[in-house]
Amino acid sequence: MMNIIKELKSKTHPRVLGGFDIFKYIGPGLLVTVGFIDPGNWASNFAAGSYFGYSLLWVVTLSTIMLIALQHNVAHLGIVTGLCLSEAADKYTPKYIGRPIIITAVLASISTSLAEILGGAIALQMLFNVPIVWGSILTTVTVMIMIFTNSYKRMERGIIEFVSVIGLSFIYELFLVHIDWGAATHGWVVPSIPQGSMMIIMSVLGAVIMPHNLFLHSEIIQSRQIQKRSDKYIQQTLKYEFFDTLFSMIVGWAINSAMILLAAATFFHNGIHVEELSQAQSLLTPLLGNSAANIFAIALLLAGISSTITSGMAAGSIFAGLFGESYNIKDSHSIIGICLSLGISLLIIFFISNPFKCLLISQMILSIQLPFTVFLQVSLTSSKQVMGKYANRPWNSAFLYSLAGIVTILNLWLLYENI
């Protein structure tokens, strides 16, 4: 009798989600966040702040707004279809369109992994004077072990801890410097393109809106198999997924902004141009003290390891999608994708002479590939064949296509400046 009464109550008075229930949906977005506070992003942000002060903060604001829209959109694909972006491309687009884009996304993931591994190696050099090559090998081996022994859930918790430590590190360092908040506020909201800044602008943009993160977000969210539940549950997840994306991207915006603020207040203010991350740490010592420099290096190491994990997972997901499969750490295609991304990246590191410049170029490569991924994504999420009644509305599709157009125009501008 009591069970019948409880059942009747649940039908007549559906449970309302409370504030704490929202936090059940947080996790996928933070995995994406750690992907765009990676070492390549550190290089882009410190170059932006040390060369141009507060004037390029608007790039972080614009790219974060774009990122929220795009990550939210690709998460819907995973929720509704139960497919990641790579799988959906293989299933619903002609092979001559989908496969070349997926292959370029694999190449973009290699560029990403290169930056992540290199960042971890630079941090090890800062902390323990380990040579870059050996630091790269140690970082790669550590990440491989973590990827092949952890589940999604355990990894999500670890990523949240990593992001928390990195965020707190930069908040601590901001208390040690004087920030011109008036100039910073102006920089956040008023776009300006100082002479010679286009490569750094594209590096910052590519470091925030990263192609592999779009694939990764759809993979993580589809792994929860939400589409197999009731339509009501799907709608509820679509609603609360936005909170996860919004919260996580704002965290990323704050950390990226803090890097530029720190570089502007310490280096630009003193007329110093940062050309190496190790240089940034050594210059912080006389300006802010040993503790700040050590915290900088530890945070960089955490960022390098955690972002290499997400990069490897994304590569496994993208490569598996070529065969119509989702990411599975026990599946050969996922394993090949991970090994290709991390292995080729490690091999390239053996031959580079300027790690900092390599970090900047790797982020620029991401921004060049980005329009292809975005156009593919929006075409899929706008299709009723793919999304059914959850397909993008016309105004939403127009907005998302305009974002892809903005990135394309910036890329063409960069190409024009370098010809």
Domain segments of the chain: what residues? 28-267+275-418
Could you tell me which CATH number the domain at 28-267+275-418 has? 1.20.1740.10
Q: What pLDDT is recorded for position 238?
A: 75
Q: What pLDDT is recorded for position 166?
A: 74
Q: What pLDDT is recorded for position 362?
A: 84
CA–CA distance, 30 with 15 (Å, rounded to integer)? 27
- The pLDDT tens digits for 40-88 are 788 889 999 999 999 999 999 999 999 999 999 999 998 899 899 999 9
Residues in the chain, how many?
419
- The pLDDT tens digits for 274-306 are 888 777 777 677 666 777 778 878 888 888 888
* Residue 159 CA, distance from chain mean position: 12
Contacts by 193-197 with C-beta closer than 8 Å and gap 24+?
Answer: 194/52, 194/55, 194/56, 197/48, 197/51, 197/52, 197/55, 197/56
Cα dihedral sign, 134-140-141-142: positive
Closest Cα partner for 167 from 47, 247, 112, 62?
247
Q: What pLDDT is recorded for position 21?
A: 46
Q: What pLDDT is recorded for position 240?
A: 77
Closest Cα partner for 116 from 403, 342, 361, 365?
342
Among left, alpha and beta (phi > 0; psi -120 to 50; other), residue 352 is beta
Q: What pLDDT is recorded for position 235?
A: 74
Residue 69, number of CB atoms within 10 A of its CB: 18
Alpha carbons within 13 angstroms on the beta-carbon side of residue 175 total 7
Tell me the two tokens of residue 302. 């955490």
Q: What pLDDT is recorded for position 260?
A: 94
Read out DSSP for 219-273? HHHHTT-GGGS-HHHHHHHHHHHHHHHHHHHHHHHHHHHHHHHHHHHHTGGGT--
Per-residue pLDDT of the chain (419 residues; tens, 9 = 90+): 434 334 433 443 334 344 434 444 555 666 677 766 778 788 889 999 999 999 999 999 999 999 999 999 999 998 899 899 999 999 999 999 999 999 999 999 999 899 899 989 999 998 999 999 999 999 999 999 989 887 555 666 766 676 677 777 878 888 888 999 999 999 999 999 999 898 899 888 877 888 888 998 888 887 656 665 667 777 777 777 888 888 888 988 998 999 899 999 989 988 989 888 777 777 677 666 777 778 878 888 888 888 898 899 999 999 999 999 989 988 999 999 999 999 999 999 999 888 878 887 887 788 889 899 999 999 999 999 999 999 999 999 999 999 989 888 887 887 677 65
Residues 6 or more apart whose Cβ sits within 8 Å of residue 55: 187, 192, 194, 197
pTM: 0.83
Q: What pLDDT is recorded for position 224?
A: 59
For Cα atoms 360, 314, 363, give the angle at the middle one, nearest 5 degrees. 10
CA–CA distance, 113 with 11 (Å, rounded to integer)? 50
